[in-house]
């Protein structure tokens, strides 16, 4: 069986997302600035230094992907961060971050998630590189966080979760950000249906999906995009699992929310055809 790049090195998609968030943390543009203070610390020291050099961010942005991708990542980050800020008031007993990459919300929102068990799932290599950087930079990982190494194409997500202590039927916050696009269609449907079936009443799903992939990323060596969901399939998956859609944000709506000034002018354009939905289990 061929060895995939994601099994031997950290995911390139995780690298790009972390790079975008790191640049954003040092942004002077208030529209593009976000608050992921951990992201720069996960990068090599030389890159951290480069981020602080005036105008270097423009060069780095160009290297990270097609026009509009950086803006999408930052708008997406702002939107999901806001949901996590409010999560403490919703008393979730479990949080699952699928395809976590270099996501740092378990650290940044440790107070909001203090009463929940947090499970992060991704390839063992990506998780190892992330936790090594946490140790090197003196970043404290909360005791309620469990890292679960997994090969999504060969291992069962639900089996891994249950072995790690996931409680079936508990109120759970599920985050699938930049994850389903890299799995085969049949695996996505099977995985999502099984995970949603494990959750209890009041659970919340945050899902990013796209009907087709960003083809420019394919040519630049990012993990192969294998799957596109559409609204009909998403609604079917939700209804079969007892979930009801509560919010839906595409590139244009996020652009309007985060990058429009007081005079109604769009200051930064968001690219891509991705959508983020939020659904609640009845």
What percent of the chain has a predicted confidence (pLDDT) above 70? 84
**pLDDT of amino acid 11:** 66
| CATH T-level topology, domain 5-281 | Rossmann fold (3.40.50)
Q: Domain map of the chain by residue range? A: 5-281
Task: Report the C-alpha gap between 225 and 79 in whole angstroms.
Answer: 23
Confidence of residue 77 (pLDDT cuts 50, 70, 90): very high
8 Å CB contact between 210 and 181: yes
pLDDT for the residue 4: 43
Residue 104's closest CA among 89, 90, 84? Answer: 84
CA distance 225 to 218: 7
Give tens-digit pLDDT for 178-192.
776 666 767 777 888
Mean pLDDT, all residues of the chain: 85
Over residues 133-182, the pLDDT tens digits come to 999 999 999 999 999 999 988 899 999 999 999 999 999 999 999 776 66
Strand-pair category, 145-149 with 172-176: unpaired
User: Does 81 score more than 90 pLDDT?
Assistant: yes
Q: Is the pLDDT of residue 43 over 80?
A: yes
* pLDDT-derived band at 213, boundaries 50, 70, 90: very low
What tokens does 194 get?
């099984």
Residue 223 has pLDDT above 50, yes or no: no
Pairing of the two strands 243-250 and 274-281? antiparallel
State the pLDDT at residue 233. Answer: 77
pTM here?
0.88
Give 47's pLDDT tier (boundaries 50, 70, 90).
confident
């Amino acid at each position: 069986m061929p060895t995939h790049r994601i099994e031997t090195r950290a995911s390139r998609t995780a690298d790009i997302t972390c790079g975008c968030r790191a640049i954003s943390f040092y942004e002077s543009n208030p529209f593009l600035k976000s608050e992921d203070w951990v992201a720069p610390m996960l990068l090599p020291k030389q890159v951290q230094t480069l981020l602080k050099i005036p105008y270097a961010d423009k060069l780095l942005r160009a290297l990270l992907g097609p026009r509009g991708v950086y803006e999408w990542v930052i708008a997406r980050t702002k939107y999901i961060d806001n949901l996590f800020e409010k999560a403490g008031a919703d008393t979730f007993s479990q949080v699952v971050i699928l395809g976590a990459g270099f996501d740092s919300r378990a650290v940044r929102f440790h107070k909001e998630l203090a009463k929940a068990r947090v499970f992060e799932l991704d390839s063992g290599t990506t998780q190892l590189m992330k936790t090594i950087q946490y140790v090197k930079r003196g970043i404290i990982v909360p005791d309620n966080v469990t890292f679960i190494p997994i090969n999504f194409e060969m291992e069962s997500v639900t089996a891994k979760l249950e072995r790690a202590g996931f409680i079936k039927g508990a109120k759970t916050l599920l985050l699938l950000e930049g994850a389903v696009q890299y799995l085969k269609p049949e695996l996505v449907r099977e995985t999502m249906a099984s995970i949603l079936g494990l959750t209890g009443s009041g659970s919340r799903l945050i899902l990013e999906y796209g009907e087709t992939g960003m083809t420019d990323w394919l040519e630049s060596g990012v993990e192969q995009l294998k799957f596109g969901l559409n609204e009909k399939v998403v609604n079917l998956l939700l209804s079969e699992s007892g979930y009801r859609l509560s919010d839906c944000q595409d590139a244009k709506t996020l652009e309007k929310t985060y990058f429009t000034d007081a005079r109604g002018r769009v200051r930064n354009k968001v690219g891509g055809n991705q959508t983020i939905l939020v659904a609640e289990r009845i």
